[in-house]
Amino acid sequence: MTVNTAGGLKKMSAKELAQIVFNQAELFILDVRSETEYNDWKIEGDKIEVVNLPYFELLEGVDSALDKIPEHKKVLVVCAKEGSSKFVAEQMVEAGRSNIYYLEGGMKAWSEHLEPVKIGDLKAGGAIYQFVRIGKGCLSYMVISDGEAAVVDTLRMTEVYEKFAQDRNVSIQHTIDTHLHADHISGGKKLADKAGAAYWLPPKDAAEVTFSYEKLEEGKEIAVGNTKIKIQPIYSPGHTIGSTSLLVDDTYLLTGDILFIASIGRPDLAGKAADWAQDLRSTLYRRYRELSDELIVLPAHFGKVSELGEGGRVSARMGELYRTNPGLHIQDEAEFRRTVTENLPPQPNAYQKIRQTNMGKMTPSEEEQREMEIGPNRCAVHDK
């Protein structure tokens, strides 16, 4: 709910902003972060217009900025943590502008907001939900059946999953990471420990982890609830050597960071691009090709808001991706290797520290974790 503050200034929550993006509604954003921060990472939407005017240029007043800001549109002022945007928004209201908002919690809150979206029902009852971390492009999942739940590619905001499960009167029995993540800090082990659940991780990605885990391997089925909803691991290396996809209820394929809606995974985040490029090709061009075209692909990330479907869902049929995804149409092996090893987007911010944290070798504070995760995910080959 939008809250009015003194003087007519209004604040907008990250959840409200997410709904604007999901619904493809119009919004004008004045981003007052530095040019460097803005160019690294910004709020995007089909009908969102963004202008960057750094805060320090507006300290003496906003008069010079008013001609760049439409008078008859909803305007949202954005900064890193809230304070600067609130100050600028107040100046705009004092200058006579109306319909002015500031983003509550700033880009920090935008980065951490998770929006749950129902993907579909399961054959024997239950459902699968996608949690869209819209500000960072991360996707995680909860499979619910017969009073039990499994959470896949859990993000560090574990309280969101706990509350979601509690509201539906289900107990979390499993948390699963499809691979050792490098762009965000996993909440899988933390959530498993809090819920008394089993934590699953591919053993080929776990050579250096410092904690106990269940081995996520092909041939081992994970059951959720007495209705025996099956989660079947499918070994699918390439993004990492241990990357493992999950076939859920013979209907949904959770591909981790191997296959996205508009791109494919990058093999370089552990420094082994040359070694893993062939694994990636084999997974995409052979292993996945053996699977049904009717499977609904659910990736662990999206790169652009154009990949969001109805209600914010990120999904596509496997057959559709083999028709439309450019990463699945590189027939020449040498060209494929060049594509996935050269001219890649920048690597995720602090990705080495994030990998170390996900191995249990580092224990950064909450604030340090936030700083490590700031920015886009950059897990795909074509996300530039």
Q: What is the pLDDT of residue 384?
A: 43
Residue 78: pLDDT band (50, 70, 90) is very high
The SS3 call for residue 223 is strand
Summarize pLDDT for 90-110 with one digit per residue, the tens: 999 999 998 999 999 999 999
- 379 labelled catalytic: no
Residue 3: pLDDT band (50, 70, 90) is very low
Summarize pLDDT for 343-364 with one digit per residue, the tens: 777 776 788 899 999 999 999 9
Q: What is the pLDDT of residue 6?
A: 47
Query: Domain boundaries in the chain?
Result: 3-110, 114-372
Q: Lowest-pLDDT range, 158-172, 229-243, 307-321, 337-351?
A: 337-351
Summarize pLDDT for 18-60 with one digit per residue, the tens: 999 999 999 999 999 999 999 988 999 989 999 999 999 988 8
- Portion of the chain with pLDDT greater than 90, in percent: 75
Mean pLDDT, rounded, for 115-133:
95
Q: What is the pLDDT of residue 124?
A: 84
Q: 147: which 2 tokens? A: 């009073």
Mean pLDDT, rounded, for 294-298:
98
Query: Is the pLDDT assigned to residue 1 strictly greater than 50?
Result: no
CATH topology of domain 3-110: Oxidized Rhodanese; domain 1 (3.40.250)
Rounded (10°) angle between helices 351-358 and 366-373: 130
d(CA 272, CA 59): 47
DSSP string, 105-158: THHHHHHH--EEEEEEE-TTS-EEEEEEETTTTEEEEEEEETTEEEEES-BS-H
Q: What is the pLDDT of residue 60?
A: 85
CATH topology of domain 114-372: Metallo-beta-lactamase; Chain A (3.60.15)
Given the residues 12, 48, 75, 79, select the one marked as catalytic. 79
The overall pTM is greater than 0.75: yes
Q: What is the pLDDT of residue 382?
A: 63
Best CA proximity match to 183, nearest among 270, 284, 311, 296:
270
How many other C-beta atoms can be found within 10 angstroms of the C-beta atom of residue 316? Answer: 22
